[in-house]
Amino acid sequence: MSRRSPEPLVWLLFSGGGMAAALLVPVLLVLFGLAFPLGWLPAPDHAHLLALVGHPITKLVLFGLCALALFHWAHRFRYTLYDGLKLKQASTLIIVVCYGAALAGSAGAAAVLLMA
Amino acid sequence: MTTFHNIVVVGGGGAGLRAATAIAEANPLLSVAIVSKVYPMRSHTVSAEGGAAAVIADGDSLDEHAYDTVSGGDWLVEQDAVEAFVEEAPRELLRLEHQGCPWSRKPDGRIAVRAFGGMKKKRTWFAADKTGFHMLHTLFQTALSYSDIVRYDEWFVTKLLIDEGRVHGVVAIELATGRVETIIANAVIMCTGGCGRVFPFTTNANIKTGDGMALAQRAGAPLKDMEFVQYHPTGLPFTGILITEATRAEGGWLLNKDGYRYLQDYDLGKPTPEPVLRSMELGPRDRLSQAFMHEHAKGRTIETPYGPIVHLDLRHLGAHVIDTKLPFVRELCSKYQNIDPVKELIPVRPVVHYMMGGIHTDINGATPVEGLYAAGEVACVSINGANRLGSNSLPELLVFGARAGEAAAEYVRSLRTGPRNAVYAQGNDEERRLRAELDQRRKGTERIADLRTEMQATMEEGAGIYRDGDSLEKAAVKLHELRERFDRAAIDDHSSTFNTELISLLELDFMLDIAQSIVACAGKRTESRGAHQRTDFPKRDDEHFLSHSLVHRSGEVEYLPVTITRWPPGERVYGR
Amino acid sequence: MIKMEVTRFRPGEDDAPIVQSYEVPLRKEWAVLDGLNYIKDQLDGTLSYRWSCRMGICGSCGMTVNGKPQLSCATFLTDYAPGPVRVEPLRNFPVIRDLVVDISDFMTKLPKVKPWLIHDGEVPEDEFLQTPREMDEYKKYSMCINCMLCYSACPVYALEPEFLGPAAIALGQRYNLDSRDDGALERRDVLASAAGAWACTFVGECSTACPKGVDPAGAIQRYKLTAAVSALKDFLLPRGARR
Amino acid sequence: MSAYRQPVSAFWWLRQWSYLLFVLRELSSVFVAWFVVYLLLLVAAVGDGARAYEDFLAWSGHGWVLVLNLVATAFVLLHAVTWFALAPRAIVVPRVPPWAVLVAHYAAWALLSAGVAWVVLR
Ligand SMILES: Cc1cc2nc3c(=O)[nH]c(=O)nc-3n(C[C@H](O)[C@H](O)[C@H](O)COP(=O)(O)OP(=O)(O)OC[C@H]3O[C@@H](n4cnc5c(N)ncnc54)[C@H](O)[C@@H]3O)c2cc1C
Ligand code: SF4
Ligand code: F3S
Ligand code: FES
The CATH number of domain A7-115, selected from 1.20.1440.120, 1.20.1300.10, 3.30.365.10, 3.40.50.620: 1.20.1300.10
Examine the domain organization and report whether D49 and D24 are in the same domain: yes
Give the domain CATH number at D58: 1.20.1300.10
Q: Which of B126-135, B169-178, C224-233 has the lowest mean pLDDT?
A: C224-233
> What topology is assigned to B231-353 in CATH?
Flavocytochrome C3; Chain A, domain 1 (3.90.700)
Q: State the number of CA atoms in the 13 A half-sphere of B313 facing the CB.
A: 13
Interface mutation target, options A13, A14, A19, A76, chain D, most CBs of D under 10 Å: A76
For A60-63, the CB contacts below 8 A with 24+ separation are A62/A109, A62/A113, A62/D39, A62/D43, A63/A106, A63/A109, A63/A110, A63/A113
> Average pLDDT, stretch C109-119?
97
> Average pLDDT, stretch B562-576?
92
C140 lines ligand 2 (CB under 6 A): no
Instruction: Look at residue C240 in the predicted model and tell me its pLDDT.
Output: 53
Domains of chain C (ranges, CATH numbers): 2-101 (3.10.20.30), 104-241 (1.10.1060.10)
Is residue D1 assigned to a domain? no
Smallest CA–CA distance from C205 into chain D, residue: D18
The pLDDT tens digits of the residues spanning B346-360 come to 999 999 999 999 999
For helices B131-144 and B393-413, what crossing angle results, to 10°?
30
Distance, CA of B277 to CA of B518 (rounded, Å):
32
Number of H helices, E strands in chain D: 4, 0
Contact in structure between B248 and B272 (CB atoms under 8 Å): no
Contact in structure between B48 and B34 (CB atoms under 8 Å): no
Examine the domain organization and report whether D103 and D60 are in the same domain: no
Annotation says B248 is catalytic: yes
Alpha-carbon distance D91 to nearest alpha carbon in chain C (angstroms)? 6
The pLDDT tens digits of the residues spanning B250-290 come to 999 999 999 999 999 999 999 998 999 999 999 999 999 99
Return the closest-CA partner of residue C64 out of C157, C153, C145, C160.
C153
Under DSSP, the state recorded for C128 is P
> Average pLDDT, stretch B124-141?
97
Under the banding of pLDDT at 50, 70 and 90, the label for residue A2 is very low
Q: State the number of CA atoms in the 13 A half-sphere of C88 facing the CB.
A: 19
- Alpha-carbon torsion (B297, B301, B305, B311), positive or negative: negative
Return the closest-CA partner of residue B9 out of B296, B376, B519.
B376
The pLDDT tens digits of the residues spanning B8-28 come to 999 999 999 999 999 999 999
C148, C205, C215: residue to mutate for ligand 2 pocket, most atoms within 8 A of CB:
C148
Distance, CA of B517 to CA of C73 (rounded, Å):
32
Distance, CA of B76 to CA of B562 (rounded, Å):
6
Instruction: Look at residue C238 in the predicted model and tell me its pLDDT.
Output: 63
Examine the domain organization and report whether D26 and D43 are in the same domain: yes
Q: From start to end of B11-61, where are the E strands?
A: 32-36, 52-53
Q: Which residue has the higher pLDDT, A58 or A90?
A: A58
Q: Coil, helix or strand for C1?
A: coil
Q: What burial class does residue C136 get, using C-beta atoms within 10 Å of its C-beta: 0-12 exposed, 13-18 middle, 19+ buried?
A: exposed
Instruction: Look at residue B337 in the predicted model and tell me its pLDDT.
Output: 93
- Alpha-carbon torsion (C123, C128, C134, C136), positive or negative: positive
Centre of ligand 4 to C-alpha B159, Å, is 27
Distance, CA of B238 to CA of B280 (rounded, Å):
26
- Number of domains comprising chain D: 2
Q: Coil, helix or strand for B273?
A: coil
Residue nearest to atom 7 of ligand 2 (CA): C144
Whole-number Cα distances in Å, A37 to A42, D64, D69, D114: 9, 12, 10, 20
Instruction: Look at residue D96 in the predicted model and tell me its pLDDT.
Output: 86
Instruction: Look at residue D1 in the predicted model and tell me its pLDDT.
Output: 56
Is residue D31 assigned to a domain? yes
Instruction: Look at residue C57 in the predicted model and tell me its pLDDT.
Output: 97
Annotation says B315 is catalytic: no
H-helix or E-strand containing B533? Answer: strand B533-534
The pLDDT tens digits of the residues spanning B305-343 come to 999 999 999 999 999 999 999 999 999 999 999 999 999
Is residue D7 assigned to a domain? no
The pLDDT tens digits of the residues spanning B436-492 come to 988 888 888 999 999 999 999 999 999 999 999 999 999 999 999 999 999 999 999
Distance, CA of C131 to CA of C142 (rounded, Å):
16
Whole-number Cα distances in Å, C26 to A15, B333, C3, C227: 50, 21, 9, 50
Task: With CB atoms and an 8 Å threshold, state whether A69 touches D33.
Answer: yes
The shortest CB-CB distance from A29 to any of D13, D53, D72 is to D72
The pLDDT tens digits of the residues spanning C139-148 come to 999 999 999 9
Write down the ipTM of this complex. 0.94
Is residue D121 assigned to a domain? yes
Contact in structure between C94 and D5 (CB atoms under 8 Å): yes
Distance, CA of D24 to CA of B406 (rounded, Å):
59
Examine the domain organization and report whether D42 and D84 are in the same domain: yes
> Average pLDDT, stretch C21-43?
96
- Alpha-carbon torsion (B220, B223, B224, B227), positive or negative: negative
Examine the domain organization and report whether D17 and D64 are in the same domain: yes
C212, C215, C220: residue to mutate for ligand 2 pocket, most atoms within 8 A of CB:
C212
Under the banding of pLDDT at 50, 70 and 90, the label for residue B160 is very high
Cβ contacts of C29 on chain B, cutoff 8 Å: 238-239, 336
Examine the domain organization and report whether D54 and D98 are in the same domain: no
Examine the domain organization and report whether D20 and D76 are in the same domain: yes
Contact in structure between C80 and C70 (CB atoms under 8 Å): no
Smallest CA–CA distance from C159 into chain A, residue: A83
Centre of ligand 3 to C-alpha D3, Å, is 25
Q: Are strands B466-467 and B533-534 parallel, antiparallel or unpaired?
A: parallel
Contact in structure between C89 and C101 (CB atoms under 8 Å): yes
Is residue D82 assigned to a domain? yes
Atom of ligand 4 nearest to the CA of C71: 4
Centre of ligand 3 to C-alpha C83, Å, is 30
Residue B8: strand pairing partners: B33, B188
Quickly list H helices, B210-254: 211-218, 246-249
Return residues 125-154 of C near B (CB < 8 Å): 126-132, 134-135, 138-139, 142-146
DSSP string over C138-167:
HHGGGG-----HHHHH-HHHHH-TT---HH
Question: Hey, is the C-beta of A89 within 8 angstroms of any chain C C-beta?
Answer: no
Under the banding of pLDDT at 50, 70 and 90, the label for residue A97 is very high
Alpha-carbon distance B529 to nearest alpha carbon in chain D (angstroms)? 53
> Average pLDDT, stretch C142-167?
96
Return the closest-CA partner of residue D35 out of D58, D60, D10.
D60
Distance, CA of B285 to CA of B307 (rounded, Å):
19
In the structure, do chain A and chain B come into contact, i.e. share 3 or more CB pairs under 8 Å? Answer: no
Instruction: Look at residue A6 in the predicted model and tell me its pLDDT.
Output: 83
Quickly list H helices, chain C: 32-38, 104-109, 132-139, 149-153, 155-159, 166-176, 184-191, 205-209, 216-236
> Average pLDDT, stretch C36-65?
97
Instruction: Look at residue B285 in the predicted model and tell me its pLDDT.
Output: 94
Return residues 2-21 of D near C (CB < 8 Å): 2-6, 8, 12-13, 15-16, 18-19
C166 lines ligand 3 (CB under 6 A): yes
Q: At a CB cut-off of 8 Å and minimum separation 6, what does B417 contact?
A: none
Examine the domain organization and report whether D58 and D75 are in the same domain: yes
Range of the domain at D97: 93-122
Distance, CA of B510 to CA of B490 (rounded, Å):
16
Backbone angles phi and psi of A23, in degrees to 5: -75, -40
Examine the domain organization and report whether D34 and D23 are in the same domain: yes
Instruction: Look at residue C243 in the predicted model and tell me its pLDDT.
Output: 46
H-helix or E-strand containing A81? Answer: helix A56-84
